Structure 1
């Protein structure tokens, strides 16, 4: 999990389930059509339901509590868990279990059996905490860094300074116990109380081994006559007299980067592995092989990696002992001849080219030595890997492509589309996400916020969400139980758990459509890194940190424009481009069809990529270059030959100008240069989804029968009512309300060559449209309009039914509704569920249905008429439609169960000085400075009571179908 958690707000629609019978029908086949068509909801399976990251604190788990937890998750509608062992809880030390020990394996085996019994899936993190590492990772296996010293030397002189590098000691801890490097033994595993320290990075003071020493003669246009002097260094002394001229002596040393596993649990603390070494990975995974032997892991699905994050520390892990040989194999020349350029001491061009080749080699190593080998190891066991590739100093699309399930996190659309793009390009069925990570300040996120976050993930192409997350907590643990510091706390102790199951049903329904068929996007967007990797910047390596990295790419501007205007696209890398073929002027890859390929503004492009683009155009494809074609080749390898080849290919193009674009016919296809991306429609067969001009957003899936599913979202704070056109051929369509389970056919009309459909969406509501090429008829999806004046309901009784610290006394009021925190101290501190009940008076007005508008609700509300559950509202507009047949007599009882946030009860604990933050390692940091206590950690003691309950006004309005 990246240590960046951006706020995502979501305001949201409600769940309406008219009756228990209708609810059961909502996930079964509903035949409402003629002989030529029927409405059918997908069957929901385990993978369609949302899963959750399940933190095991100190592995202090018991069979009794494991069963209780899994049964609660099953009841709440989760589809599976991902076990991630992390740091422990103070006071539970006697119950700690070392990661991968026989006792730990017993608990894993028991969990797998119980999960299988309950129909829950299980994934497992391949480490305790993150990144990969542990106490069995010795110094040879650990991540490395390269440091340097540079000396100037005139001809005829010898170097008087010693060529040695003493590593500066460093210790960083995430725990609360302060420590200096002199307090720490080497290796780190020789120290006691590792949980107490929570080491993040440790470097000991030591003389580092020498990698290489070279001398380069300085000339006017760079360096020449490179000499390897490594063998001439004796006990730190360089035994060499410089020939005539001005010389630069460069010495490289190999250090231990010192990164420790973050948030590690007992038995998992230690060095992070060298991700660029296949030997290090093999030795690391051997520990798992030994632990797994003779254990039944058949129910375990995939192994998981929680992002790279090796460089979430001081300095970078930028070296591996075999780097020089790997560089020569992959780049084709000897890096030892260009050490000044590697260090940025040569000409600007030479520095840029060598650095690009260095970064490309690191990318290749991370792909070939780590990601692919890890996947092969999992495959031998009949498993797969779920991989968060972001954070890596590599081409993230290639790493995602090597994963069985790519996993993304974040909030920004171009970043979010990286993992789904790789899945689409390589024909993978699932893309997962770390979802709803610490959306707001602790305890201030509601289920509406969560909906806003997951809707955005689905629009990017994710179809397999993992909540972030759920902490294992013993049943006897005092409230609020065991909690993870960077989470929205999807745990049974959360007062919103009361309504979590209704939200999970919404998520499962959505993913049942989003996992069906295959992606249907029109544009391939080239993901070029050559420009960025040719810029030195502040560090040797560039990392794909979530949300931030993409701001540096020209792809960001293109991706943002395409997404904003309603064009559908997938990004692809240089390696992935090789697999693209052209047929009938369309581009084929991963079993998907694309109409064109867009290259963002770029200066450098590998010659293999440029040749491939030209070949695709020759075969009939349309290739669009934004603003310009690439002007040069990156890197140093075969530069002259590659430049010549690019110029020859460019010379075959004869452009003609029209407006802001130039077009060259090449073979059967076209090369287009366009200064303005808005000319895409004019110059190609591309068409955006017109609904974007009306404020709606969507993603499209192609069904096996040639029809489409559209997931449509209204992200604005205004309701939408009107006609829309889909970028698809269809004669009729059906609507599926993911919240309510309602369905029905759509009203359509012919407008020229297009079929339009009528749609209504409340703000932030989502719905699925299924298109049909044939004429399908049946009951229309019902839309309502007011048919009379609203009746304000009064005479409420309020019973507090669940929560704490104690259940307040019931309240009966004939006055206006208000926050229950206004009723006194016992109510101010309460977090939980209150049941509001009143009698609905006799309704004289006839109506097709009645709209119950709850008004202001904090935070979610479940509605019952005469004991029958109708639905759950997660956010404004907090209203549902009630069928008239439920209100036929004058003796109808309305009950509304309202759950508030955990915030008021947490604030009460902090005001009273009750310690609930009992966790080793990261013990609840605050997001906002105003919530930082004297100890530097999160506190809610200064909070005013958060509004809670049914605040209203609550009205009942007659409505009629229109």
Structure 2
């Protein structure tokens, strides 16, 4: 890892794939602590850092978590009754779980009438069976005339367990709203680790995404709700599921607002508090929470986003990235990390370094500045059985054939992260998150706030804002009420009907200070919560109406063309891409006197384009972080608005653009390559695969998977050819080695000297300095994808036979189930029928060229 440029590790301890106690140490056993301490010592010897996921798997929980501290899941059970009647009902054996609320109310037109609602919890009686508590019943309840609904809320006995735990680590997930449960978890799962490893050994403790399925309640909700909202929730619990006339959305808002506060205060902040006590920092993925997600991310020392599936493209990832980076910016976190490359391609083992590079760029332009590879799988020694792999990863580790070329990518990622961790982010535009409407509109459930926000704002709209040259942060009420602390000059309010009065007043102050406020579709007109609901709504509507009358708000009739016409008229893009805006994105930071732009082409095509940088007339330089060198623009021009830079992007290429008055004036690239000769290299190649004891001469370059002996081979193939070079040939300014297709990464050696590597298209390399007059050897070592080996019919995952074995887990079915799901190649064989193209494919040539100066007309 260190040799590949990886600076640290995050350890996750997960499910078992084979029997035996040597391979599967008991969670928190003496052997467990011993190997973890040894690992930490070896990491620190190398100057690397160690992060650790607490517990085993996620969400947080384990065998030590008692039922009373686990995550409650409630659901309603309702009965329709027509009065007048004396009503009796036995819930025993009809419902499962503890009744945590019981009300009665009259129904009209499918709505419950507020004045008729009664809390009838006191009518619940314990039912005994031979003196033992057995169930619950209601007796002699007087139901008045009319159609009534009896509603009980049940906290079920079946609660979520941690996902995919290691040996001995199964157990309940904690209640993330309960401070006592959170502290209990950290003291049980974390403090013993620190006592044995030593304070500071763990750099950051990590919290994965909050996938607490079904969790929608907490034992202290009634007490906390009344304390925070000023009235009792008990009579109105039906609104969390059904409709109470004139009150439903206000009650739902107050409930979710309370749950949000409890989660942030009692889990996210408690985790960071405990980490600091242990001499470590907290790294948290907050997506999945129902809470104010910016505040949740902001509670971490290191907010972490996530990227899974095919994200080697340019698009704003609101759900898992941009909200996390926005939180890092508004809560002043230097490091904003990202779980990267999870399932970059499905099925597994088909991802390439090129895809990883572009995916990293898409992460950077969303505002993240630390990459966490997902993932590096524990592996046996060479030849010890099956290929081990982590199911939620891109298998970025030394058992992947192209791993030897990852170092080039690792250096690239380090260079970019180094620049993007400098100074402060720069963004003039902020977008208000309509979280209050989501709380008000959703019934009881484990709301995924980030997903709901993206659905409401719409991906196409957000992408168009970014592609129009506007970099933005998302903001919440906390930020808007402190707007003077931030550099924002434009606020966009989209799809927001509700907001607190304090936020509306702050927006008015923001506009009165000369800043731009744009609303789309409609103006906010509703307050938040039940108490004084109508008064607050009128106040919100009045504030925005007055702002409109005073010309302090611009209303776009829709968030599509109308919004973008208004933005184009009122706001200068920070960095405008003339051609290729759908593929080329940027992020901007300011470090002292220097302004740093990272600009990336996240596509499989070249772009000749102009970058218009608003307000900049200082000297600048352009760095290629992949090659580690400066490049010159084709041309640039100072304009009234700033600087226009003409630049050529190769497919998947990125640059660092730095403006600083202390830099020398940039030179223009006045030269172009003119070919004067081509030497074809598509014949006389010798192919050798030492691992398979195979060699042959090739009549033409085509994928070696077409050879029967190498059809399912994954590894390195060595191609050699020779070519005579004359003095005239070597008079060329450049001699470019070019290959049509490489499957999928290669190292090039010329006359025994390392000349370079290919990890992405175009496959070109200037090799002039390595050539001499006479005979020259060109050797290209190509590593292909792991998928070919996985598709091999000879590669099978065998079940453990029988039902009982002599080693843990003793019963075979749980182990076999995990092996079939996580270790087998079933999904790969279902989705892919033939091995992937491997080796050198198509034409290969040397291009001899001279440099010629271009005319001024570019």
TM-score, normalisation: structure 1: 0.79
Partner of residue 705 from structure 1, selected from 578, 592, 611:
592
Say whether residues 1:260 and 2:161 are aligned partners: yes
1:321 maps to what in 2? Answer: 219
1:772 maps to what in 2? Answer: 660
1:943 maps to what in 2? Answer: 833
- Compared with structure 1, are the counterparts of its residues 652 and 128 closer, same or farther at alpha carbon in structure 2 (3 Å cutoff)? same
2:849 maps to what in 1? Answer: 959
Partner of residue 725 from structure 2, selected from 842, 846, 857:
842
- Compared with structure 1, are the counterparts of its residues 140 and 464 closer, same or farther at alpha carbon in structure 2 (3 Å cutoff)? same
Find the residue that maps to 2:765 and give its secondary structure.
strand
Find the aligned partners of 2:673 and 2:437 in 1 and give their Cα distance.
Answer: 56
Q: In 2, are the aligned partners of 1:863 and 1:870 still within 8 Å (CA)?
A: yes
Partner of residue 365 from structure 1, selected from 247, 259, 262:
262
Q: In 2, are the aligned partners of 1:784 and 1:959 still within 8 Å (CA)?
A: no
Q: In 1, are the aligned partners of 2:797 and 2:820 still within 8 Å (CA)?
A: no
Find the aligned partners of 2:672 and 2:167 in 1 and give their Cα distance.
Answer: 58
Structure 1: gaps of 5 or more residues? 1-72, 168-206, 582-587, 656-663
1:496 maps to what in 2? Answer: 402
Structure 2: gaps of 5 or more residues? 127-136, 801-811, 854-858
- Compared with structure 1, are the counterparts of its residues 792 and 480 closer, same or farther at alpha carbon in structure 2 (3 Å cutoff)? farther
Find the residue that maps to 1:157 and give its secondary structure.
strand
Find the aligned partners of 2:108 and 2:629 in 1 and give their Cα distance.
Answer: 77
Find the aligned partners of 2:671 and 2:689 in 1 and give their Cα distance.
Answer: 35
1:674 maps to what in 2? Answer: 556
Find the residue that maps to 1:113 and give its secondary structure.
helix
Find the aligned partners of 2:4 and 2:620 in 1 and give their Cα distance.
Answer: 32
Provide the aligned C-alpha RMSD in A.
2.7
Say whether residues 1:352 and 2:249 are aligned partners: yes
- Compared with structure 1, are the counterparts of its residues 795 and 601 closer, same or farther at alpha carbon in structure 2 (3 Å cutoff)? same
Say whether residues 1:855 and 2:740 are aligned partners: yes
Find the aligned partners of 1:759 and 1:480 in 2 and give their Cα distance.
Answer: 48
Say whether residues 1:100 and 2:1 are aligned partners: no
Partner of residue 636 from structure 1, selected from 525, 530, 533:
530
Q: In 2, are the aligned partners of 1:421 and 1:572 still within 8 Å (CA)?
A: yes
Find the residue that maps to 1:455 and give its secondary structure.
helix
Find the aligned partners of 1:296 and 1:367 in 2 and give their Cα distance.
Answer: 28
Give the deviation of 1:690 after TM superposition: 2.0
Alignment of 1:871-882 (within 5 A): 871-882=756-767
Partner of residue 517 from structure 2, selected from 619, 623, 630:
623
Find the aligned partners of 1:725 and 1:916 in 2 and give their Cα distance.
Answer: 61
Aligned residues: 808
1:822 maps to what in 2? Answer: 706
Partner of residue 716 from structure 1, selected from 603, 607, 615:
603
1:739 maps to what in 2? Answer: 626
Alignment of 1:235-384 (within 5 A): 235=126, 236-287=137-188, 288-311=190-213, 316-347=214-245, 349-384=246-281
Q: Deviations over 1:146-193 (max 9, x none)?
A: 1222233344422232244655xxxxxxxxxxxxxxxxxxxxxxxxxx
Partner of residue 336 from structure 2, selected from 421, 431, 434:
431
Say whether residues 1:606 and 2:606 are aligned partners: no
Partner of residue 150 from structure 1, selected from 73, 78, 81:
78
Q: In 1, are the aligned partners of 2:705 and 2:835 still within 8 Å (CA)?
A: yes
Q: In 2, are the aligned partners of 1:442 and 1:926 still within 8 Å (CA)?
A: no
Give the deviation of 1:728 after TM superposition: 4.3
2:365 maps to what in 1? Answer: 459
Say whether residues 1:596 and 2:490 are aligned partners: yes
Q: Deviations over 1:791-847 (max 9, x none)?
A: 11242222224xxxx52412233x2211112332x2112110112122232142332
- Compared with structure 1, are the counterparts of its residues 958 and 166 closer, same or farther at alpha carbon in structure 2 (3 Å cutoff)? farther
Give the deviation of 1:277 after TM superposition: 0.9
Give the deviation of 1:747 after TM superposition: 5.1
Give the deviation of 1:325 after TM superposition: 1.2
- Compared with structure 1, are the counterparts of its residues 870 and 520 closer, same or farther at alpha carbon in structure 2 (3 Å cutoff)? farther
Give the deviation of 1:475 after TM superposition: 1.7
- Compared with structure 1, are the counterparts of its residues 872 and 133 closer, same or farther at alpha carbon in structure 2 (3 Å cutoff)? same
- Compared with structure 1, are the counterparts of its residues 129 and 717 closer, same or farther at alpha carbon in structure 2 (3 Å cutoff)? same
1:560 maps to what in 2? Answer: 463
Give the deviation of 1:265 after TM superposition: 0.5
Give the deviation of 1:78 after TM superposition: 0.9
1:11 maps to what in 2? Answer: none
Find the aligned partners of 1:736 and 1:942 in 2 and give their Cα distance.
Answer: 40
Find the residue that maps to 1:776 and give its secondary structure.
coil
2:47 maps to what in 1? Answer: 119
1:870 maps to what in 2? Answer: 755
1:759 maps to what in 2? Answer: 647
- Compared with structure 1, are the counterparts of its residues 256 and 788 closer, same or farther at alpha carbon in structure 2 (3 Å cutoff)? farther
Find the residue that maps to 2:715 and give its secondary structure.
strand
Q: In 2, are the aligned partners of 1:558 and 1:600 still within 8 Å (CA)?
A: no
Give the deviation of 1:367 after TM superposition: 1.0
Find the aligned partners of 1:907 and 1:420 in 2 and give their Cα distance.
Answer: 39
Worse-superposed segment, 553-562 or 913-922: 913-922
Say whether residues 1:408 and 2:313 are aligned partners: no
2:437 maps to what in 1? Answer: 531
Give the deviation of 1:493 after TM superposition: 1.3
- Compared with structure 1, are the counterparts of its residues 629 and 147 closer, same or farther at alpha carbon in structure 2 (3 Å cutoff)? same
1:885 maps to what in 2? Answer: 769
Find the aligned partners of 1:720 and 1:942 in 2 and give their Cα distance.
Answer: 32
Q: In 1, are the aligned partners of 2:83 and 2:148 still within 8 Å (CA)?
A: yes
Structure showing greater relative contact order (alpha-carbon pairs closer than 8 Å, 6 or more residues apart): 1
Find the aligned partners of 2:843 and 2:752 in 1 and give their Cα distance.
Answer: 22
Find the aligned partners of 2:723 and 2:418 in 1 and give their Cα distance.
Answer: 37
